[in-house]
Structure 1
Amino acid sequence: MKEATWSTAARYQPYSSWAPDYIMKLKAQVAASKWRTKTHVQPDTGLINDPCSLNFFNNKWHLYYQQFPFGPVHGLKSWAHAVSKDLFNWRRVPGDLLPDNEYDSHGAYTGSALVTHGTLRLMYTGNARDDQWHRHSTQLGAVLGADGRLFKDPKPLILTPPTGYTQEFRDPFLFNYEGQTYVLIGGQRPDHTGAILLYAKQTDKSWRFVAPLSIPDEFCGYMVECPNITFINGKVVLVYCPQGLDQDFFEYENVYPNIALVADSFDPTTGNLTHQRLQNIDKGFDFYATRLANTDDDGTLAISWLGLPDTTYPTDDDGWAGVLSYVRQLTLRDDHVCLYPHPAIKSLRETAVENLPVIQQHDDEWTVTNLEGAFELAFTLAAGQKTTIHLPDGDHDQLLIHLDSDSGQGMIQRENRNNGGSLRQFGFPAGETVEIRLFIDVSVFELFIDQGYRVVSGRFFGNEAPTAARITPPSAASDVASWNLKKDNGGL
């Protein structure tokens, strides 16, 4: 069933009404897709989009993310549940959050979670529609116990938006600050300006609206989705998705940006933020809905949807859409937000001799062969040099990356098989020797330059999974290394 044929009734019918025969055929269709990844979180069937929560609970990492399991479209959303020991080898387990009451009758939308009193406490947006198809947004709660059972709260946590805001009121992010629990919620005013709304939890467990964060309207577009906050080295970092941001004010190329705001201080009694500056945290084609996790031992973690709203992908014809990024650590370097893979990503490397890529230096290029579709490629780019990474696909390149360390300019080009464009340009520190790490996973790329100072992520869709790479000229690159990647649990 292609998107054009998906009626509203089909998208929002109860999960129990989907015929087993349809689901079996969909699974077979998805399994045959040549663009299935080997190491990324992806749907068994249908669509996944926003990551909702990432928490270490009961001796495991728990990941929740949005899904519509019945087709590659946005329909009646639920939360899928997966667990991992190392943040990279994920396994689906029971405990999905399903839309089954009057408040989430049209979808369990994005939210977050905190570990509290030996349980995982979830907060999410319930989406309901009336007979005129008007939206009613409610912030709801659920709890996951140590035994893996999930229970919803009987009553809403926040029934309606505060006065002066519309029903575009969603994506709660729970956080602790100075011994108090707060939540940020994306919002919109009647004049179609976006806002991030701050609530404080009271001793009676109710939520009190404090204020909108003091962010200028031009930083927020007409609606804010997926707000997050973290505190690093005495600074405040907000990560959020402002829809409709003026491109003359802030440069971005995707349909909606996913940006960071760095501030010097945060006042939880007023929502005031001082000395704010903006940054695009990923310059790739497909990157949205980042969810942060504030942890005790691993710093601030980040995971994102490598997809975009209002965008089609070739995998749609195969019955599935969407992947999540690798888990990254978010740090600040000179007030610049950096994203870099968590060190546990090394658990994906295949180390058996027979599975190692073959790396050779020739007069005119480095070649890397014996690649198996999912691999890591790393090298050092010398200062004042230009290099190009080629991923061949028959007689042409399915992915081409140009890097100029003298000017600090880069470009990535892919075959244009969807409506997200084929070219992205980006900057990175000029005149320096920089480390390059490129992760390829069949139809996904994640590029990290200078230990995450610049990140470029997205999808690409070649005729075949990549089995070789070339780096030209050979004099620009040194310390070339590569590993094939594989999950140890059969994948999702």
Structure 2
Amino acid sequence: MEITPTGLVDACGGADNVRRALRHQDKVIIELIELERVNQDVLPISTIDHSLRQITLDQPVSQGALTALGRVIDHNLREQAAPFYSPSQKTDFHRPGWHISPPQGLLNDPNGFIYFQGHYHLFYQWYPFACEHKDKFWVHLISPDGVQWHTAPLGITPSDWYDSHGVFSGHAMVMNDALWLYYTGNTRIGPERLRQTTQCVARSSDGIHFEKLGPVIDAPPAGVTEHIRDPKVIHDGQHYRMLLGAQREDKIGRLAQYSSADGLTWHYDGLSGDSLGEHGYMWECPDLFQLSDQWLCILCPQGSPSPTPDHHVPHHNGYAKATLEADGITLDNWQVLDHGFDFYAPQTAQTPDNKRMLIAWMGLPDEVEQPSFSAGWLHQLTCPRELRWENGQIYQRPAAALESLRGPQQLLVINPECHSTTVDLGTKQFELNTTLPIPTSGHYTLYFHSRSGMMTPASSGKPSGCALTIDGDSRTLTLDRSASLATEGDTRRCIHLPEPLEDLPLQVLADTSSLEFFIAGGRWTMTSRYFSAIDATFLALTRDRHDTPLPKEMDWYALKNASVR
């Protein structure tokens, strides 16, 4: 006898007792809150796993019944997550004032960044119940300008048999006047946590309420492990292309490409990326777009060669020039996208005036030991950035809409006779603009620090905080956060400055616990979480010797809060 949706839920002990649904080798597995509530006289159960509180059914379940069960679980998850959709009331002086951060729990990759029906839509990975990487939801934000955001109802929950251990990352497309979300469904089977990966679709006509259509690619292709994820879909003028970050069975990262006429039925075209060599053991978060008629592919390789000796973590970011071919993509000229500590999984969107805007996760996989943990939240996103293709590379600049956060312009004139200059800005939220002369020898340092870390004539140490040093002897620009509050990850990053440069325009965007440096008009960027004392509102400029040139002046603006409501 076929199991009806209502009969299945009732036999499982009621809607509030169903926690998760899975399917493995045509067997349906249901995870429950309390095994004791299951009616074993009604359900055809083949096995019971008491440690996981899971039952495996000995009879096929129709797709309709599984879909209905997913809607029950979706309702439960939304109710459970609702209390965590508001910020915690714990004392918290690290919460950003104008960046996107999670109300509670853990945030990671931005997803589905797109302009649709007159507004920007942005989703991000979220685990609401703790500061850890577990079953991911998609939070949904909407904005008129990419700066002021309001929270929409939760986008997608890990409610169905194909995504019940996490709605993993993906992108959005507008097709047939509807908003389509492509994402990776993640499930783990049994105590061994066997990974199952599918590529899935959800669709919305109003941009608010999404209907899951289920998997459109139900298994990895031959020669690829279950580590295949983060679909990016474009239309190249002839057909749809899907790019996926992938891992070959010999543990080499590559791009998997599929093609489709309708966005639903996909044909596997093969792997791309051999032109970059053995460039890491896994590639994640691909993006593909055009700037000034040049196709570009952003990637996050894991385990690729480190660009500098100070880079010790395995997670990287960068981009390559892309040539689109009938059945694949050729990549060349790999370049680092951001040279700082905390930049991963960037996504771009085309703006209404045909510009390209980028937002990234200001964090890295596996790093959760941060001071905000005690306040019940982790991580934030970067500011929105406008991308341009200049001189054979991507330039990044803060989105123009961020200027709406500026207070009155203020000017700091540097006395060329002084060995050091210190000023209290009175805020951690500011924009700073100056030009750094590159000395022929010697060095000077720009410090962001607290009152207790101020340098005085009697002190022998350096200010505690974050330091940006420009060194003429080595022609390097070094960011050092080793004196900030403890956090996981590296503490030094370095950029080597080519010989022709004599001056270095610098723009700094600061928030309560982050610094974003835009260098030489956006030729380089350095992004960093920076946790500091509550009074870390001081700026200091010091040099190693009297004849080392300093910037002549700095203009700066206090930045107002942006709403994320």
Q: TM-score, normalised by structure 2?
A: 0.77
Question: 2:299 matched to which residue of 1?
Answer: 240
Tell me the distance in 1 between the aligned counterparts of 2:278 and 2:291: 21
Relative distance call for 1:428 and 1:178 in structure 2 (3 A) is farther
* Residue of structure 2 equivalent to 1:88: 147
SS at match of 1:477: coil
Amino acid at match of 1:456: M
Paired residue for 1:439, among 497, 506, 509? 509
Alpha-carbon RMSD: 2.9
**Alpha-carbon distance, 1:367 to partner:** 4.7
Displacement of 1:407? 5.7
Q: CA deviation at 1:323?
A: 0.5
Deviations 1:309-353 (A, max 9, x none): 1222222222111110011122222222222211111112123xx
Alignment of 1:285 onto 2:341: yes
The corresponding residue for 2:324 is 266
CA contact (8 A) 1:241 1:288 kept: yes
Change (3 A) 1:349 1:25: closer
Q: Structure 1 CA distance, aligned partners of 2:476 and 2:343? A: 20
Deviations 1:364-421 (A, max 9, x none): 2555434322111111223547542111212223111112478641011112512213
Cα deviation digits, residues 40-63 of structure 1 (max 9, x gap): 100000110001121111111111
**CA 1:465 to 1:57, structure 2 compared with 1: closer, same or farther past 3 Å?**
farther
- Contact 1:214/1:271, CA 8 A, preserved across alignment: no
CA distance, structure 1, for counterparts of residue 176 and residue 225 of structure 2: 34
> Which secondary structure state, in structure 1, belongs to the residue aligned with residue 552 of structure 2?
strand
Match of 2:434 in 1: 379
Among 526, 537, 540, the alignment partner of 1:456 is: 526
Shift of 1:213: 1.6
Whether contact under 8 Å (1:442, 1:466) holds in the other structure is no
Distance in 2 of aligned mates of 1:296 and 1:406: 46
Cα distance in structure 1, aligned partners of 2:85 and 2:263: 48
Confirm or deny: 8 A CA contact 2:251 2:281 kept in the other structure: yes
Q: In the alignment, what sits opposite 1:328?
A: 385
Moved more, 362-371 or 155-164: 362-371
CA contact (8 A) 1:359 1:366 kept: no
Local SS of the residue matching 2:227: coil
Q: CA deviation at 1:484?
A: 0.9
1:138 maps to amino acid: T
Partners of 1:361 and 1:367 within 8 A in 2: no
TM-score, scaled relative to structure 1? 0.88
Q: Give the partner amino acid of 2:391.
A: D
1:241–1:465 Cα change, 3 Å: farther
Alignment match, 1:27: 88
State how far apart, in whole Å, the 2-side matches of 1:211 and 1:388 are.
Answer: 50
Whether the aligned pair in 1 keeps the contact of 2:136 and 2:165 (CA below 8 Å) is yes
Alignment pair present for 1:361 and 2:421: no
Q: CA, structure 1 residues 285+466, in 2 after alignment: closer, same or farther (shift >3 Å)?
A: same
- Aligned residue in 2 for 1:226: 285
SS at match of 1:28: coil
* 1:392-431 aligned within 5 A: 392-393=449-450, 394-395=452-453, 396-404=463-471, 408-414=475-481, 415=483, 417-430=486-499, 431=501
Tell me the matched-pair count: 472
* Structure 2 partner of 1:470: 540
Q: Say which structure, 1 or 2, has more relative contact order (CA 8 Å, 6+ apart).
A: 1
Partner of 1:313: 370
Q: Is the 8 A contact 1:140 1:157 kept in 2?
A: yes
Report the counterpart of residue 145 of structure 1 in structure 2: 205
| Code of the aligned partner of 2:390 | R
Q: Does the CA-based 8 Å contact 2:439-2:549 persist in structure 1?
A: no
Whole-angstrom distance in 1 between the partners of 2:268 and 2:422: 58
Partner secondary structure for residue 372 of structure 2:
helix
Structure 1: unaligned runs, 5 residues or longer = 1-7
For the residues of structure 1 that align with 2:278 and 2:122, how far apart are their CA atoms? 29
State how far apart, in whole Å, the 2-side matches of 1:120 and 1:405 are: 51
Q: State the alpha-carbon separation in 2 of the partners of residues 24 and 240 from structure 1.
A: 31
Supply the AA of the counterpart residue of 2:504. V
- Which amino acid counterpart does residue 88 of structure 2 have in structure 1? K
1:255 corresponding residue in structure 2: 314
| Native 8 Å contact 1:83 1:93 kept in 2 | yes
Q: Give the C-alpha shift of residue 236 in structure 1.
A: 2.7
Amino acid at match of 1:442: T
Match of 2:57 in 1: none
Percentage of pairs with the same residue: 28
Distance 1:196 1:377 in 2: 39
TM-aligned CA deviation for residue 17 of structure 1: 8.1
- Runs (4+) of structure 1 moved beyond 6 Å? 248-251
